[in-house]
Amino acid sequence: MNSIVKFTLAFLLTFSFTQSLTAQTPKTTSGNPIFEGWYADPEGVILNKEFWVFPTFSAKYKDQVFLDAFSSKDMVNWTKHPRIIDTSAIKWANKAMWAPSIVKKDNKYFLFFSANDIQSSERKGFGPNNPDKDDKIGGIGIGVASRPEGPYKDYLGKPLINQFYNKAQPIDQYVFQDKDKQYYIIYGGWGRCNITKLNKDFTALVPYENGDLVKEITPKGYVEGPTMFIRKGKYYLMWSEGGWTNGTYKVAYGVSDNIFGPFEKKSTILVADEAVATGAGHHSVINIPNTDDWYIVYHRRPIPNLDRDHRVVCIDRMYFNEDGSIKDVKMTFEGVGKVKLK
């Protein structure tokens, strides 16, 4: 047996042993990204004592015709649930299915999403006095299913919101239940953030006392991607700034005593780190029940970033200072350790 053959056999045996050992070694941290593939805009939630992430499939708009989901019992090992909803179920959607937000209510799962990247007459160059030139087929829709992994069917047969209230594009919706059990949608692109009430069966919006269907709560610096949570009686509104197509994307937040604000910007807490990744944003947060343990679920751009749609989903810890302010988030490659839900 010549030396080349011996070397090749030795290499193959070593590689096989290493692969086998790696496969048998249980993961102790999630790693970042937490699962393979180009994904963005992740909604992280706890459903049925499991962790779930519902992201956007990051691709060209014409290819964004479905949504996948991922589940985990420990935040480290993730299972993919492909095509939980797609345009075969949502007949009015044909592209740009974005930014899902999920709610469990009455033993059903309601998946809110944006679709079609609709444009206003003003943005299309027709001026603000030509509402007939607005795109109307698209906006924020709802899918419904009996399980979080679907399959989801069209709940309304049409968009829930397809108008440009306060010049906000109807995208990037986050569905939030307040202390009084009222459900709200917080949403908006193009630098505008709106909040509106949902009726009890999620079939329509509920007007405020003055007759308006939506209220604007845009904080300074807001671009898109809102999310909200309550901690120690305070409302935290978080959002993304910068450009989603590049490394300037980042996360900021404000705090208020009221769900309607005002939310003055406190700081940016998640920004590019040239040693790790750039373009970190459009996130959500997970709080472990009955604890003050918080996690931020977000997307970021690997270095080097070779394409507009090369975005990956990551999880890192999020900590608070004594005064309730949020500490700067440190992006990692390790991700987070195992978390068991009681």
Helix (H, G, I), strand (E, B) or coil at 7: helix
Of 41, 22, 6, 31, the closest CA to residue 297 belongs to: 41
**Rounded Cα gap, residues 313 and 161, in angstroms:** 27
Instruction: Give yes or no for a contact between 102 and 59, defined as CB atoms under 8 angstroms apart.
Output: no
224 is catalytic: yes
Of 318, 109, 110, 329, the closest CA to residue 229 belongs to: 318
Helix (H, G, I), strand (E, B) or coil at 248: coil
**Rounded Cα gap, residues 8 and 77, in angstroms:** 34
**Which of the residues 43, 86, 149, 224 is marked catalytic?**
224
50 is catalytic: no
**Which of the residues 41, 68, 86, 316 is marked catalytic?**
41
**In sequence order, what DSSP letters do the residues of 43-81 get, joined into one string?**
EEEEETTEEEEEEEE-S-GGG--EEEEEEESSSSS-EEE
Torsion of CA 28, 33, 39, 42, to 10 degrees: 60
Name the burial class of residue 67, with classes exposed (0-12), middle (13-18) and buried (19+) by CB atoms within 10 angstroms of its CB.
buried
Q: Mind telling me the catalytic residues?
A: 41, 224
